C-alpha cells in the first residue's frame, strides 16, 4: 500500500473512499469493502482520502476526541482490507476554509474517480457544509458515481467511533472489540519507573485488570495486565516495548 502525506499523487482512474476511519471499525469495513469491490470491478486502485490527524485538532483542539487508532494502526488495518493508496491530506487553514465544491474538484483532479464511496453522515469542505447529497449531485456533473453507505448497526445499536470510545471509557473492552471487529490496542514501554502506557492521543481505559494478548518481540502471548498509575505486567526483562490487545476486563 502506498502512503501519501505530501499531497503529491495523481491517478488516471480510481475508486475513492472518504472518511476519517478512526478505529477502522466494522462500519468502516463495510465502506472499504464496497470500495474494494468497485475497484476490482473497474480494474482501478482503491484510494482512501483522509487526514493524518483529526481536523478538530486544528479547528477546536479542546473538543477533539481521543482517538481509537494511531495513524500507523489505521494504515495497517486498511492495507489488510485491500486499500491501494492511503492519501492523508494535510489539514491546514487552506483546507479548513475550502468550499465543498472545491474539495470535490481537488479529488477529481487528483484521482479521476469512477466512484466515490462515503458514509451516510459524511461531511466535507468548509464548516462541514458538504453532505452526501451534494457529493452525488457533483458526481453526476463531473462523471463519477456516488455510493453512500447507510448506518451500520450491531445488536440494534449504531456502530460509530463515538460509541466505541464511550464503551472503552467505561472499561467495556469486550463490547468495544465487537464493534471494532478487532481488539483495542494499548501501547506500552519500559521507563525507569517500570512499564507505562504510551501517551499517543488514544482513548484511555479505566484502572483495573484486563486479559490481553501481548504482542512483543515477534511473539503473541496471553497476558494479564493491571492498568493504574503505572502498568503492571509480567514480561521477560529483555522486553522494552509491547502492544496489548485488550480482550476483557476481569
Q: Are 243 and 185 in contact (CB under 8 A)?
A: yes
**Is residue 152 within 8 Å of 24, Cβ to Cβ?**
no
Give residues with Cβ within 8 angstroms of 112, minimum separation 6: 11, 12, 13, 14
Instruction: Spell out the residues 6+ positions from residue 20 whose beta carbon is closer than 8 angstroms to its own.
Output: 50, 51, 54, 55, 161
| 159-218 pLDDT per residue, tens | 999 999 999 999 999 999 999 999 999 999 888 778 889 888 999 999 999 999 999 878
Look up cell 479548513; give the residue.
96
Q: How far apart are CA 125 and CA 135, in angstroms?
A: 11
The CA angle 83-215-205, to the nearest 5 degrees, is: 85
pTM attached to this predicted model: 0.92
Q: Look at residue 234 in the predicted model and tell me its pLDDT.
A: 77
pLDDT for the residue 199: 85
Using the Cα atoms of residue 125, residue 64, residue 33 and residue 158 in order, give the sign of their dihedral: negative
pLDDT score for 216: 85
Residue ranges of the domains in the chain?
Answer: 2-150, 172-249
Homologous superfamily, domain 2-150? HUPs (3.40.50.620)
Asked if residues 157 and 35 have their Cβ atoms less than 8 Å apart, the reply is: no
Low-confidence stretches of the chain (pLDDT < 50) are none
Task: Give the pLDDT of residue 237.
Answer: 66
Amino acid at each position: 500500500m502506498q502512503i501519501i502525506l505530501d499531497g503529491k499523487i495523481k491517478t488516471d482512474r480510481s475508486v475513492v473512499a472518504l472518511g476519517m476511519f478512526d478505529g477502522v471499525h466494522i462500519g468502516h469495513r463495510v465502506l472499504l469493502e464496497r470500495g474494494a469491490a468497485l475497484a476490482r470491478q473497474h480494474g482501478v486502485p482503491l484510494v482512501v482520502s483522509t487526514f493524518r490527524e483529526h481536523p478538530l485538532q486544528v479547528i477546536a483542539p479542546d473538543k477533539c476526541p481521543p482517538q481509537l487508532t494511531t495513524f500507523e494502526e489505521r494504515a495497517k488495518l486498511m492495507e489488510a482490507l485491500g486499500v491501494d493508496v492511503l492519501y492523508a491530506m494535510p489539514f491546514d487553514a487552506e483546507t479548513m476554509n475550502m468550499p465543498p465544491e472545491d474539495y470535490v474538484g481537488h479529488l477529481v483532479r487528483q484521482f479521476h474517480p469512477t466512484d466515490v464511496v462515503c458514509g451516510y453522515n459524511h461531511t466535507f469542505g468548509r464548516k462541514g457544509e458538504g453532505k452526501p447529497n451534494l457529493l452525488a449531485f457533483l458526481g453526476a456533473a463531473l462523471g463519477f458515481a456516488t455510493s453512500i453507505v447507510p448506518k451500520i448497526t450491531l445488536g440494534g445499536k449504531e456502530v460509530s467511533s463515538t460509541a466505541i470510545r464511550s464503551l472503552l471509557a467505561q472499561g467495556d473492552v469486550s463490547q468495544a472489540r465487537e464493534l471494532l471487529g478487532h481488539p483495542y490496542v494499548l501501547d506500552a514501554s519500559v521507563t525507569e519507573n517500570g512499564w507505562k502506557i504510551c501517551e499517543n492521543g488514544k482513548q484511555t481505559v479505566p484502572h483495573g485488570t484486563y486479559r490481553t494478548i501481548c504482542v512483543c518481540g515477534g511473539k503473541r502471548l496471553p497476558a494479564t495486565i493491571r492498568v493504574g498509575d503505572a502498568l503492571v505486567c509480567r514480561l521477560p526483562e529483555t522486553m522494552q516495548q509491547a502492544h496489548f490487545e485488550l480482550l476483557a476486563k476481569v
